[in-house]
Amino acid sequence: MLKTFFEENNIKYLENESLKKHTTFKVGGEAKFIALPSDCEQAVALLSFLKANDIKYYILGKGSNVIFRDEGFDGVIVKTANLQKIEYIDDETVYAGAGVQLSTLCKNLQEHSLKGLEFCYGIPGNVGGGLFMNAGAYGGEICSAVCEVEYIDENCEVKKIGVQDCDFSYRHSVFQGKDWFILGCKFKLTKGDSGQILSFMEDIMQRRVSKQPLDKPSAGSSFKRPVGYFAAALIEECGLKGCSIGGAQVSEKHSGFIINKGDATCADIVALAEHVEKVVLEKTGVTIEKEMIIV
Ligand SMILES: Cc1cc2nc3c(=O)[nH]c(=O)nc-3n(C[C@H](O)[C@H](O)[C@H](O)COP(=O)(O)OP(=O)(O)OC[C@H]3O[C@@H](n4cnc5c(N)ncnc54)[C@H](O)[C@@H]3O)c2cc1C
């Protein structure tokens, strides 16, 4: 039934696909199907069909903040990778599709001498995942450049929501907990000097390379920043740097990152994250909370 639907609607799909290939942590079992709509019409048709037929689905961006369980996902992963539109509406306003990688968007904006999102350079997610998480780095958050987000609501209608209604805060947005599919976003930037924007982007990329274990699979910082503390410092203070369970390890290079040493399972990562949370609470009295999403 599903294959016939994908084929009749020209929607690209993968069957019995390892989810390791679709997340930066490189763990997880197989997805029954991964569907890749390439425009708004395909996404609306797909979501309408899945809902009408009561088929389980999960929306996936670049998979840089998600890990899937080892038993896999017995449903349809709706992956945004083919929503790749970048359109300049005026000199300072740009629409970017949910599947555009943040670094690609930053580079594109820099080439147009536009600033406002350059701090996102190096965050390995897409626009959709970035908005969902209100991704941020080096003092900036994606919400600061959002003008309006286009999404498909729970009734499969295409809607727009202004930044004031997106309820953005630290790693939080209105999209969390809603049954909405982000299609893309209109960003408002300001004119800048393309050389200066480029130097800033190169500088923060250098800082990432020197401080983060980018040679090992991970989901970036595994824990949110607790108010008034730094998760990495608390973890280090508790003697957990380098601590391992199976193939998962608290990075020796950056204690805020749990890494996959090569053969980690999702269960190893979850067990290690929970161990870290427990020890940090016992030893420091501070609650740290996972930033990565376990599906
Ligand atoms: C090495 C490394 C460094 C990182 N550095 C940073 C950093 O500096 N700052 C930071 O904030 N994060 C960082 N991250 C985490 C991650 O890149 C961000 O959270 C990013 O915003 C996730 O985007 P994504 O496209 O990968 O989303 P995914 O991981 O695919 O999804 C995240 C959530 O968003 C939902 N989602 C995705 N797309 C849509 C959509 N179109 N509509 C509705 N829901 C959607 C998913 O269902 C999921 O719940 C890092 C990760 C890694 C691996």
Residue 49: band (very low, low, confident or very high) from pLDDT cuts 50, 70, 90: very high
**CATH number of the domain encompassing residue 115:** 3.30.465.10
pLDDT per residue over 274-291, tens digit each?
999 999 999 999 999 999
Residues 13 and 51 in one domain: yes
pLDDT of residue 71: 98
Would you say residue 39 lies in a domain? yes
Q: Domain check: are 261 and 224 in the same one?
A: yes
| Residue 223 shares a structural domain with residue 278 | yes
- Tell me which residue range forms the domain holding 26: 2-79
Ligand 1, atom 50, residue with closest C-alpha: 220
Among residues 169, 197, 225, the one where a domain terminates is 197
Residue finishing a domain among 142, 164, 197: 197
Q: What is the pLDDT of residue 205?
A: 97
> Is the distance from CB of 112 to CB of 91 less than 8 angstroms?
no
Residue 205 lies in a domain: no
CATH of the domain at 30: 3.30.43.10
In a domain, 203, yes or no: no
As a whole number of Å, the CA-based R_g of the chain is: 19
Match 């209604």 to its residue by tokens.
165
**Cα 24 to ligand 1 centre (Å):** 10
pLDDT tens digit sequence for 208-225 = 999 999 999 999 999 999
Are residues 74 and 103 located together in one domain of the fold? no
Q: Are residue 220 and residue 272 in the same domain, yes or no?
A: yes
pLDDT > 70 fraction of the chain, expressed in percent and rounded: 100
284: how many CB neighbours lie within 10 A of its CB? Answer: 16
101 and 53 together in one domain:
no
For residue 23 and ligand 1, the question of a CB distance below 6 A is answered with: no
Instruction: Judge whether 150 lies within some domain.
Output: yes
Strand ranges, E, within the chain: 12-18, 30-36, 57-60, 66-67, 73-79, 86-90, 93-97, 114-115, 136-137, 140-141, 146-152, 158-162, 181-188, 190-191, 218-221, 244-245, 248-250, 257-260, 293-294
- Position of tokens 């998962």? 248
58 strand-pairing partners: 77
Residue among 138, 132, 84, 142 nearest 108 (CA): 84
Distance 8 CA to ligand 1 centre (A): 31
Q: Does residue 181 sit in helix, strand or coil?
A: strand
The per-residue pLDDT for 243 is 97
Average pLDDT over residues 259-265: 97
Residue 178: the pLDDT is: 96
Task: Note the Cα 10 to chain centre separation in Å.
Answer: 26
What pLDDT is stored for residue 183 in this prediction? 98
Cα 237 to chain centroid distance, Å, stands at: 28
- Indicate whether 145 and 175 sit together in one domain: yes
Same domain, 19 and 74: yes
Each residue's pLDDT tens digit, 112-121 = 999 999 999 9
Residue 135 CA: nearest ligand 1 atom is 11
Q: Is 123 in the pocket of ligand 1 (CB under 6 A)?
A: yes
At 128, the pLDDT band (50, 70, 90 cuts) reads: very high
pLDDT at residue number 160 = 98
Read off the pLDDT band of 270 (50, 70, 90).
very high
Average pLDDT, the chain: 97
Q: What is the pTM of this model?
A: 0.96
Please give the average per-residue pLDDT across 248-265, as a whole number: 97
For position 33, what pLDDT does the model report?
Answer: 98
Q: Which residues are catalytic?
A: 171, 221, 291
Q: What is the mean pLDDT of residues 255-274?
A: 97
Band the pLDDT of 11: cuts 50, 70, 90: very high
Instruction: Count Cβ atoms within 10 A of the Cβ of residue 224 and give its class: 0-12 exposed, 13-18 middle, 19 or more buried.
Output: middle
Q: Cβ-count burial of 1 within 10 angstroms (0-12 exposed, 13-18 middle, 19+ buried)?
A: exposed
CATH number at residue 248: 3.90.78.10
- Among 79, 102, 132, residue at a domain's last position: 79
Whether residues 130 and 182 fall in one domain: yes
Q: Please provide residue 2's backbone torsions phi and psi, each rounded to the nearest 5 degrees.
A: -65, -40
Q: How many Cβ atoms are within 10 Å of 139's Cβ, its own excluded?
A: 7
Q: Do 151 and 171 have their domain in common?
A: yes
Average pLDDT over residues 82-98: 97
Check whether residue 128 and residue 170 sit in a common domain. Answer: yes
Q: What is the pLDDT of residues 60-73, one digit of tens each?
A: 999 999 999 999 99
- Judged on CB neighbours under 10 Å (0-12, 13-18, 19+), 190 is exposed
- Cα(154) to centroid of ligand 1, in Å? 21
Q: Is 73 in the pocket of ligand 1 (CB under 6 A)?
A: no
Number of domains in the chain: 3
**Domain-embedded: residue 145:** yes
Considering the domain architecture, whether residues 177 and 98 belong to the same structural domain is answered as yes
**Tokens encoding 126:** 């897409």
Measuring CA to CA, which residue among 60, 65, 63 is closest to residue 78?
60
